[in-house]
Structure 1
Amino acid sequence: MQTFDDITNLQSTLSTWRRKGYRIALVPTMGNLHEGHLRLVDAARQHADRVVATIFVNPLQFGPDEDLERYPRTLAEDQRLLTERGCDLLFAPNVDTLYPQGQSALTRVSVPQVSEGLCGTHRPGHFDGVATVVSLLFNLTRPDVACFGEKDFQQLAVIRKLVRDQHMPIDIIGVPIARDHDGLALSSRNHYLDDKARARAGRLHECLLESARRLEQGEPSEQALTKGLQQLEGAGFQPEYLALCDTETLRPINTWQPGSVLLVAARLGSTRLIDNLSFPT
């Protein structure tokens, strides 16, 4: 696997691949890789001849009271994992490389509607930061396909709308959530959980499953969601939302049916966790 931190070598290599007719897949990450990220690489390999991963802890998507400075940076270990998984190229730039004029002077990208509500309410400006850096990475790498995890379901919806609205010739692939033994969705932030919190964290997914069962049995959505929030509070969580939404628009809906998704965000101590469950196909 080649690793570059500069744009010139990145684009030179990609140009060579394109001349050879290779189909290129992109896997954007913030590093501190786990099995969920590596499954994105696996999915990318299925859809392309060459796989490019990026590692960039993007300051634009962190709020002023969030964990930018302590977000784990594990480049050497990430390189090892990507190499073992068959990634062909890693682009790991620093902030000055991507934002040479500084963050305050940077042209921003905003995706309306799907970025509003849910995590957009609790993390103002987060999805503008996501859309800005992903748009920039798409422009730099010009991939044929890009893979994103379904755990960050609202992020995936934002990126799909970005690509659709901008007529970008990129296939966006959503990759199913990778889970731990108790159902907890894998996340780089899970390592913030101490042993006691980690033992309770699986209740987040259990709450989703139980709420979905109530909805499937015909319980009114408002009642089912209220019970779910109460269960989370009883398990020691501080819930931010539990919502039933349309999978494409993320607008609230009242019926658990094809095209719906149940989304949750909650804090366990100082750690923010998210998860979702789509109507079974």
Structure 2
Amino acid sequence: MTTTTPARTAPAVAHTRDELSAARADLTSGDVGVVMTMGALHEGHARLIEQARARHAHVVVTIFLNPLQFGVGEDLSRYPRTFDDDMRICTDAGVDLVFAPSPDVVYPDGDPGIRVSSGALGAMLEGAARPGHFDGVLTVVAKLFHLTGARSAYFGQKDAQQLLLIRRMVRDLDLPVEVVPVPTVREADGLALSSRNAYLTDSDRETALCLSRALQAGADAATYGPSAVRRAAREVLVGEPLALVDYLVLVHPTTLEDVPEWYRGEALLAVAAKVGTTRLIDNTPLRVGPGGGRLDVFSEDPHGKDAP
């Protein structure tokens, strides 16, 4: 006899603060994990949800295209909007509640006069290329922490600087939320999953593979020290002239400062490049020195008690 898997129940959807409050009250346990997204969900988001589902009685997903983190000339207007597909992914992943507000719900008084500052760390790397970006990220993340009332929040290692800053905000502002890193999810050929991959043409996508190949080459050379890591990664990028590299760095996972040649320990190898009309980022945590190599995530919270 053939058996069929029962269809999953679609999550409740809240668009307003009142709807969110009512739906949140219907969850029978206070044990809630949250996954924050801007929509255009893919397997990487599904992995975040999967991790949250494994640890919590309930999972909330936020879908909000945050205007504060887009600068002048950036791609807010053309960012993929795929709500029906997003809901199917949430349903399949067993999400309990989706909060999908409009900007006037999140920012009822318009552009907020007070924002969370990302400080010096937010002005480096991605922040140098996108001024104000991380202030917008931290502001909305802090608001969504409060609105969803989650115990834990799940963020991908692919956005390494964002993850670092959110952890720093939680620590510095004593927010009662655990931030859980989840390893980057990749295609079989190594390309890191990203909503912006939808912008890539077939030829762009082939070019974009140089980012993950550069990271792997750098990780393969990690046992020989920082110079070897940088040199190996750079050689891959130089061999792909269609990728316009913004930066390739090997930095400390807490300070984002370049690690010196004598350094041994965990470090972040990160790259950003424009491929066609699309700006892509990728990174890998790694251990530098004897026995070194690639890591999925850093071994502990870089803002722990022993962090500088």
- Would the TM-score normalized by the shorter structure come out above 0.5? yes
Which residue in the other structure is 2:230 paired with?
225
Q: How much is the aligned-residue C-alpha RMSD, in angstroms?
A: 1.7
Report the secondary structure of 1:32's partner residue: coil
Listed one character per residue, the Cα deviations across residues 13-51 of structure 1 (whole Å, up to 9, x for unaligned) are 32343xx44311110000000000010100111221100
Partner Cα distance (1:248, 1:154) in 2? 9
Contact 2:213 2:236 in 1 (8 A): no
Which residue in the other structure is 2:265 paired with?
258
Equivalent positions of 1:43-62 (< 5 A) are 43-62=51-70
Structure 1 unaligned segments of length 5 or more: list them: none
Report the secondary structure of 2:221's partner residue: helix
The equivalent position to 1:32 in structure 2, one of 23, 40, 47, is 40
Partner Cα distance (1:227, 1:258) in 2? 18
Q: TM-score, normalised by structure 2?
A: 0.85
Q: Could you tell me which amino acid in structure 2 is paired with residue 8 of structure 1? A: D
The change in CA–CA distance for 1:259 and 1:217 in structure 2 (over 3 A counts) is closer
1:203 aligns with 2:206: no
Which residue in the other structure is 2:99 paired with?
91
Partner Cα distance (2:83, 2:113) in 1? 26
Q: How many residues align?
A: 276
Structure 2 unaligned segments of length 5 or more: list them: 1-10, 287-293, 296-308
Partner Cα distance (1:138, 1:145) in 2? 9
* CA deviation after TM superposition for structure 1 residue 227, in Å: 5.8
Q: TM-score, normalised by structure 1?
A: 0.93
1:212 aligns with 2:219: yes
Report the secondary structure of 1:129's partner residue: helix
1:185 aligns with 2:195: no
Which deviates further from its counterpart, 270-279 or 251-260? 251-260
1:67 aligns with 2:80: no
Identity among equivalent pairs (%): 44
Partner Cα distance (1:71, 1:189) in 2? 8
Q: Could you tell me which amino acid in structure 2 is paired with residue 140 of structure 1? A: L
Q: Could you tell me which amino acid in structure 2 is paired with residue 11 of structure 1? A: S
* CA deviation after TM superposition for structure 1 residue 119, in Å: 0.5
Report the secondary structure of 2:121's partner residue: coil
Partner Cα distance (1:240, 1:106) in 2? 31
Which residue in the other structure is 2:144 paired with?
137
